[in-house]
Amino acid sequence: MIVAKKKTTSGHASSAANDSGGAQEHRASTSTVLNVSSHVARPGAAPALFIVLVCIVMGVASPGFTSLNGWYFMVNESVFIILIAVGMTVVLIVGGIDLSVGSGMAVAAALSGQLLLDGVPMALVFVIVLLVGVAVGLVNGLLITYVGIPDFIATLAMLTALRGVLLIWTQGNPVLGYVTHAYGVIGGSTKIAPYLTVPMLLTLAVAIAGSVLLRYTVLGRHIHAVGGDGDAAVLMGVRAKRVKIACYVISGVLAALSGILLAGYLSQVSPGTTASGYELMAVAAAVLGGASLSGGRGSVFGACLGAIALTVITNLLSWWNVNPNWSDVLVGVLILLAALLQRAGVIVATRGGQTKRPRLADPQPVTRAPQSV
C-alpha cells in the first residue's frame, strides 16, 4: 500500500527490520555484538522501548502503576488483543488484512455464552465455537482468493455481516448469566496462581506456536514468500491461494479463541458493543510490532509487545484520572509516539549500516504493477 516510502525505508531498513527473514543481514551487521544500531530497528524494539520508557517515568512518578500487581492487570487485559494480533500478523505477512476479527470475537463470545446457557457441555461448546472460527476464516479466504474480492473489502463485509447476524440472533439483548467458576478460571477473571491466569498461559503458548510456525515450518516460509512476492512464489511452486486461505483460517480461529476467553472474563456479552473496534487495535499492535501493511514482513513477538504497549497506553490514562474527554487525544498522540520511536529506530539502523558498507546501488523498492482487482 505504501509504495512511495522515502529512500531510507527501502533496502537496508526493511531487511534489517525483517527479523525472521533477514538472518544473514544480522550476521553481517552484528560482527560486534554490542552494535546498538542494528537492534533498534528489530521488530518489537519500538514498543519495548516505549514500555521501558513508561516504566522509568512511572516508576519515579507513581510506583503503583508499574508494580507487579499493575502489570498483572495490564497483561491479563491485553491477552485478548494479543491473540487477535498474532492472527493479524500472520495475515499481514501474507499481504492481507483481516478486519472481521472484532465481530468474530463478539460472535464467538455470545455463542459460547448462549450454548452454555442451553446446557451444552463446556468442552463441546469450545469445539463448536472454534469450528465457527474456522468457518469464518475459510469464507474470508475463499472470497478473497477464488471470488477475487480485495482483502480489505471481503473482511469489512464479514465484519458488518457477522455483527448483523449477532444482532438478529440476539435481537440486541445481552447474553448473560452463563459464567460458572470453571469458566471464570478459563476467562482469567479468577487466578490459578499468584499473578497467573489461564489466558496468560494460553496466549504464551499461542505466541510461541505462531513464532515457530512462521520461522521454522514450510507453511511459515510459504506465507513469507507469498507476502513478499506472490508471482515469484507461484513460479516456485507455492500454492498461493491455499497458503492465503490457511492464514485467514488461523486468524479466524484465534479470534474465536479470544472471544471464548473474553466471554469468561466479562461475564456478559453485549451484541452491539463487545469487542467492537478491536480489529483496528490488532492492526495497530501488529504494525507497531514491525509488521508491514504491504506484506512480507512481521513478527509475532513484536505484535505481542505492540498489544501490551497499547494496553499500557489506555491504562496510563485511567491511572492518571485523565478527563475522559482528553483521553482520546492522548491515545492518538501516544500511538504516534510509538510509531515515531519505530521510525527513529529504522533511521538509526540505516545510518549505521551505511557507514559500514558502501552501497553498490540505491536498492529499489519492490513495486508491483497494479493488477485488476
Partner 1 sequence: MTRLERALRAHEGPVVVAWVVLIIVFTVGSSHFLTISNIDQVLVQSLFVVFVAIGMTFVLTVGGIDLSVGSVIGLGGAITGLLLIHGVPAWLAVLGGLAAGGFTGLANGLLITRLGLADFIVTLATLSVVQGIVEVMTANAPINYPPHALSTLTSGHIGSVSTAVVYAVLIVIVMTGVYRFTPFGRAVVAVGMNPRAARLAGIGVETTRVRAYVVSGVLAGLAGVFLASYLSTVQALQGSGYELTAIAAAVIGGTSLRGGRGSVWGAALGALLLSTLQNGLVLLGLNGYWFDLVTGGVIALAVGLGGGLQGIRWIGREKVARPYQDGSPA
Ranges within 48-107 binding partner 1 (CB under 8 A) = 94-96, 99
Within 166-225, the residues that bind partner 1 by CB under 8 A are: 167-168, 171-172
Report how far residue 303's alpha carbon sits from residue 82's, in angstroms, rounded to the nearest whole number. Answer: 7
Residue of 3, 23, 182, 212 interacting with partner 1 (CB under 8 A): 3
Residue of 41, 262, 288, 304 interacting with partner 1 (CB under 8 A): 288
Residue 198: count of CB within 10 angstroms of its CB: 18
Residue 361 is a binding residue for partner 1 (CB under 8 A) = no
Residue of 150, 176, 180, 351 interacting with partner 1 (CB under 8 A): 150
What's the Cα-to-Cα distance from 41 to each of 14, 23, 76, rounded to whole Å?
Answer: 9, 14, 28
Residue of 55, 138, 185, 234 interacting with partner 1 (CB under 8 A): 234
Within 6-45, the residues that bind partner 1 by CB under 8 A are: 6, 8-9
Q: Which stretch binds partner 1 (CB under 8 A): 22-30, 129-137, 258-266, 288-296?
A: 288-296
Q: Which stretch binds partner 1 (CB under 8 A): 17-25, 60-68, 141-149, 202-210?
A: 141-149
CB of 357 to partner 1, least distance (A): 22
Residue 358 is a binding residue for partner 1 (CB under 8 A) = no
User: Any residues with CB less than 8 A from the CB of 39 and at least 6 apart, and which?
Assistant: 45
CB of 235 to partner 1, least distance (A): 6
Contact, 112 vs 259, CB < 8 A?
yes
CB of 79 to partner 1, least distance (A): 22
Q: Which residue has the cell 512462521?
A: 214
Residue 325 is a binding residue for partner 1 (CB under 8 A) = yes
Q: Which is nearer to partner 1, 233 or 260 (CB)?
A: 233
Residue 161 is a binding residue for partner 1 (CB under 8 A) = yes
- Number of residues lying near partner 1 (CB under 8 A): 80
Residue 351 is a binding residue for partner 1 (CB under 8 A) = no
Residue 339 is a binding residue for partner 1 (CB under 8 A) = yes
Report how far residue 230's alpha carbon sits from residue 222's, in angstroms, rounded to the nearest whole number. Answer: 10
Residue of 106, 136, 151, 316 interacting with partner 1 (CB under 8 A): 151
3-state class (DSSP) for residue 357: coil
* Element spanning 176, H or E: strand 175-176
H-type alpha helices, the chain: 12-17, 23-29, 36-39, 45-61, 68-93, 101-117, 122-142, 151-170, 181-187, 198-216, 218-228, 230-235, 240-266, 278-288, 300-319, 324-356
Beta bridge partners of 290: none
Q: Closest Cα partner for 279 from 127, 134, 160?
A: 160
| Phi/psi of residue 175, nearest 5 degrees | -95, 120
Residue 371 is a binding residue for partner 1 (CB under 8 A) = yes
Within 257-286, the residues that bind partner 1 by CB under 8 A are: 280, 283-284
